[in-house]
Structure 1
Amino acid sequence: MPFVIKEERAEYWQEGTLLAEVTFPPLRPGVVNIDHVFVDPALRGKGVAGQLLEQVCAALRTTGRRAVVTCSYARRWFGQHAEARDVLTAGRKG
């Protein structure tokens, strides 16, 4: 899937329609808040949200940023993916 990764969001578009996104606005220098995950109902259960979160983790690693997670879906995802927790701030490991 072709994801679009921006400074504060990761997106999946198809035919001009936004079908999935993860938003991660900055909280302070070097730290973002993963605060929203959305997947269109037609794509739910197909691993799209997880793929987007993997892309977000890669982008954070590349830029040296860390994350706090306030989105309930993302918190569950990090709880199930220990290999991705290196991007979380101390004390906020999913």
Structure 2
Amino acid sequence: MADVLVSDAPQAHRFEARDEAGELLGFAVYDGVGRTVVFTHTEVDPRHEGRGVASTLVRGALDSVRAQGRDVVALCPYVRAWIARHPDYQDLVHRSA
């Protein structure tokens, strides 16, 4: 897949993956609860499935969360599975006090 650009769209409560022309390829919906980002759903346009869009989207979203000093609750099965496969992102998972 050509370059996938990931950006936060806070007004829509989601991270978006777009191609260089600006076409929406997919998104990851979230809710903010204090310093925690709760990912609830990830979706990729069926025309772009199987091209790594979802993985790029989740990596970009989690990198943004990390840069903000926040943590994550992954209710979305895809985000949860992605984090499980990438040990270097497991430190972002919210831990109960």
Same fold (TM over 0.5): yes
Tell me by how many angstroms 1:5 deviates.
2.0
**TM-score, scaled to structure 1:** 0.82
Detail structure 1 runs of 4+ shifted over 6 Å in the superposition. Answer: none
| Alpha-carbon separation, structure 2, partners of 1:65 and 1:52 | 17
Tell me by how many angstroms 1:17 deviates.
4.7
Tell me by how many angstroms 1:84 deviates.
1.2
Tell me by how many angstroms 1:88 deviates.
0.9
**Ranges in structure 1 where 5+ consecutive residues have no aligned partner:** none
Q: Is 1:79 matched with 2:84?
A: yes
The residue number in structure 2 matching 1:40 is 45
**TM-score, scaled to structure 2:** 0.80
C-alpha distance after superposition, 1:47-86 (max 9, x if no partner): 1111111111111111111010101111111111111112
Alpha carbons 2:6, 2:61 under 8 Å: kept: no
| Alpha-carbon separation, structure 2, partners of 1:84 and 1:64 | 13
**Ranges in structure 2 where 5+ consecutive residues have no aligned partner:** none
Cα RMSD (Å) of the superposition?
1.8
Question: Quick check: 82-91 or 31-40, which moved more?
Answer: 82-91
Identity in percent: 28
| Alpha-carbon separation, structure 2, partners of 1:56 and 1:16 | 17
Aligned pairs, number: 90
The residue number in structure 1 matching 2:25 is 19
